[in-house]
Chain A
Amino acid sequence: MRLESLYQEIILDHYRHPHHSGLREPFDAEVRHVNPVCGDEVTLRVTLKDSDAGPVVADVSYDALGCSISQASASVLADLLIGRTVTEGMKVNDEFLALMQSQGEGEPDEDVLGDAVAFAGVSKYPARIKCALLAWMAWKDATAQAMGGREPA
């Protein structure tokens, strides 16, 4: 059934048991993004710390209201990006964006995207792509704010 190709078990697991959910202190930047089509919303916080390799994503926390796709996406994002450098995180973000824009033709790299490869099926449903991207757009925005004038590496 096509439903299972969209709602992979990984997505449903993250939806039912989201990781890193709930807003945490401290944080460097907080943003609230809304999908005006359906009213889904996410409030997302990013904390950065400096390292020899450049700024690192120390924490991502969020409060998400929305469908299974948007909630699971926020959970997977936090899993994937916490602990990475901002430069790496932006690469993952770009890769995920490309996957969502692939109209079902993308061949996701599991080494880069991890659990996020489960969202490949979403790219076949134009109405749902924004759901999957909501948290990612929020993360990119919050991270840019947290960076201030800093160089990524």
Chain B
Amino acid sequence: MTFDVARIRKDFPILERTVRDGQPLIYLDSANTSQKPRQVLDTLADFYERHNANIHRATHQLGEEATAAYEGARATAAGFIGAAEPAEVVFTKNVSEAINLVAYSMGNASATGQRGRFALGPGDEIVITEMEHHSNIVPWQLLCQRTGATLRWFGVTPEGRLDTSNIDGLITERTKLVAFAHQSNVLGTINPVRAIADRAHAAGALVLVDAAQSVPHMPVDVAALGVDFLGFTSHKMCGPTGIGVLWGRRELLEEMPPFLGGGEMIEDVRMERSTFAPPPHKFEAGTMPIAEAPTLAAAIGYLGEIGLPAIREYEHGLIAHALEALREIDGLRILGPAEPVDRGAAISFTVDGVHPHDMSQVLDERGIAVRAGHHCAWPLHRAMGVQASTRASFYLYNMHEEADALAEGIREAQRFFGAGGR
């Protein structure tokens, strides 16, 4: 099947609406959250209209159906990323919660005197990168504060690639865990996961990958990446908000202490102490985003039908076109790789004389939705020597003409804020 963007666009009802006084919506903020196709929206409505019940505890037909839908979604998600078995997939709220789950579990292992690879103390080190979203920085800072461990990080090169020149100095026998993004949410840079993971494993460290920005756009296989934990989130991949995935290797999830306590995650509860369910349920306390799970599975099905390789190929052409259009604009600086090599569908940039907030305002006036600010990656912006940037992020439903409209909108902002301002 050839990739037909016009046909794909028809699946997304929101792309038909207008904004700001009748202008067609040009949605270039998918790295923030993606739009949802009809097939996904219908699945959510169908669950609530026909199968709604709580899971794992209702002894009636609806309960059985809801449980089957929820656990079926786990199997779908596991298959999607090449997990060895569904039990390796823990549903979370989002990637932030997935990362916090690992961090707090390690904190709990440390506090309860558990020995082994999850317990941390002074002298131990966590390694992250300067390229991370705040959600892959702050949980580790907090963990280090709680345990006395030390946080270290990779820097970035001026071109916006990970600076791995010091990898042997950073990843040592003191390293307990290395956590980094598969793809930068700001720069679009795709990092060499396998090489870093192999180095980390050689040093005896665990590896966690934030795949929030990669899983929606390209085939991702946890076995091929050779990592221990990987997080991704539904709402950036045509699915609903409120649900994400932590994938972890089975033996690790078994060894880890729980994060959140509550219903469903227990084996036996007595007033003095409790024992816990095996993974993944050990990490799923309380009523989960039940309807969102089969809806995420529908999104996975939708992307799978089009094909992640086809999506990746289409976006590659789209990004090449957008980069070319932006490079022609005087005074525009692209943060991150300027060529479409090992880079994904997010393009952040600055324009001399026009603050990103003002840029996004002018673009919004033309119906173009982008994001302005530091995109939850403040340290990265400081490293790149800028206070803030404008980010245009593309997805399978975006067209080459929309990249052209972006370039024209940027020129309009330059005219508006340039000499004379009109």
Contact across chains for B417 and A39 when beta carbons are under 8 A apart: no
A3-B416, A68-B417 as given contacts; A40 in contact with B388, CB under 8 Å: yes
**Is A6 in contact with chain B by the CB < 8 A criterion?**
yes
**Is B236 in contact with chain A by the CB < 8 A criterion?**
no
CA distance A1 to B210 in the complex (A): 42
CA distance A67 to B358 in the complex (A): 6
**Is A2 in contact with chain B by the CB < 8 A criterion?**
yes
A2-B20, A39-B381 as given contacts; A66 in contact with B357, CB under 8 Å: yes
**Is A98 in contact with chain B by the CB < 8 A criterion?**
no
Contact across chains for B361 and A3 when beta carbons are under 8 A apart: yes
Contact across chains for A3 and B356 when beta carbons are under 8 A apart: no
Q: Out of A16, A39, A125, which one reaches B374, CB within 8 Å?
A: A39
CA distance A68 to B358 in the complex (A): 7
**Is B355 in contact with chain A by the CB < 8 A criterion?**
yes
A3-B365, A37-B373, A38-B373 as given contacts; A131 in contact with B20, CB under 8 Å: no
Contact across chains for A39 and B387 when beta carbons are under 8 A apart: yes
List, in ascending order, chain B residues with CB within 8 A of A27's CB. none
**Is A153 in contact with chain B by the CB < 8 A criterion?**
no
Q: Which A residues from 50 to 109 make CB contacts under 8 A with B?
A: 65-69
Contact across chains for A69 and B416 when beta carbons are under 8 A apart: no
Nearest A residue to B378 via CB reads: A39
CA distance A62 to B365 in the complex (A): 31
CA distance A40 to B387 in the complex (A): 7
**Is B40 in contact with chain A by the CB < 8 A criterion?**
no
Q: Out of B361, B372, B381, B417, which one reaches A6, CB within 8 Å?
A: B361
List, in ascending order, chain A residues with CB within 8 A of B21's CB. 2
Q: Which A residues from 90 to 144 make CB contacts under 8 A with B?
A: 125, 128, 131
List, in ascending order, chain B residues with CB within 8 A of A69's CB. 357-358
List, in ascending order, chain B residues with CB within 8 A of A39's CB. 373-374, 378, 381, 387-388
**Is B362 in contact with chain A by the CB < 8 A criterion?**
yes
Contact size range, A: 20 to 34
List, in ascending order, chain A residues with CB within 8 A of B417's CB. 12, 68
CA distance A68 to B387 in the complex (A): 14
Chain B proximity mask over A1-41: 1 for CB below 8 Å, otherwise 0: 11100110100100010000000000000000000011111
CA distance A50 to B416 in the complex (A): 44
Residue among B21, B357, B358, B381 with most chain A CB within 10 A: B357
CA distance A27 to B402 in the complex (A): 51
Q: Out of A2, A9, A67, which one reaches B356, CB within 8 Å?
A: A67
A123 to chain B, nearest CB (A): 14
Contact across chains for A38 and B362 when beta carbons are under 8 A apart: no
Contact across chains for B374 and A38 when beta carbons are under 8 A apart: yes
List, in ascending order, chain A residues with CB within 8 A of B361's CB. 3, 6, 125, 128
Chain A proximity mask over B342-370: 1 for CB below 8 Å, otherwise 0: 00000000000001111001100100000
B107 to chain A, nearest CB (A): 25
**Is B421 in contact with chain A by the CB < 8 A criterion?**
yes
List, in ascending order, chain B residues with CB within 8 A of A40's CB. 357, 387-388
List, in ascending order, chain A residues with CB within 8 A of B378's CB. 39
CA distance A39 to B380 in the complex (A): 12
Contact across chains for B372 and A38 when beta carbons are under 8 A apart: yes
CA distance A62 to B416 in the complex (A): 26
Contact across chains for B357 and A7 when beta carbons are under 8 A apart: no
Q: Which B residues from 244 to 278 make CB contacts under 8 A with A?
A: none
Contact across chains for A68 and B388 when beta carbons are under 8 A apart: no
Closest 8 CB pairs of A and B: A67-B357, A67-B355, A38-B373, A39-B374, A39-B388, A12-B421, A67-B358, A68-B358
Which residues does B use to contact A, with CB under 8 Å? 20-21, 355-358, 361-362, 365, 372-374, 378, 381, 387-388, 416-417, 421
Which residues does A use to contact B, with CB under 8 Å? 1-3, 6-7, 9, 12, 16, 37-41, 65-69, 125, 128, 131
Q: 19 A-B contacts, Cβ less than 8 Å apart?
A: A2-B20, A2-B365, A3-B362, A12-B417, A12-B421, A16-B421, A38-B356, A38-B373, A38-B388, A39-B381, A39-B388, A40-B388, A65-B387, A66-B357, A67-B355, A67-B357, A68-B355, A68-B357, A125-B361
15 more A-B contacts (CB under 8 A) besides A3-B362, A40-B387? A2-B20, A3-B416, A7-B416, A12-B417, A12-B421, A38-B356, A38-B373, A38-B388, A39-B388, A41-B387, A65-B387, A66-B387, A67-B355, A68-B357, A68-B358
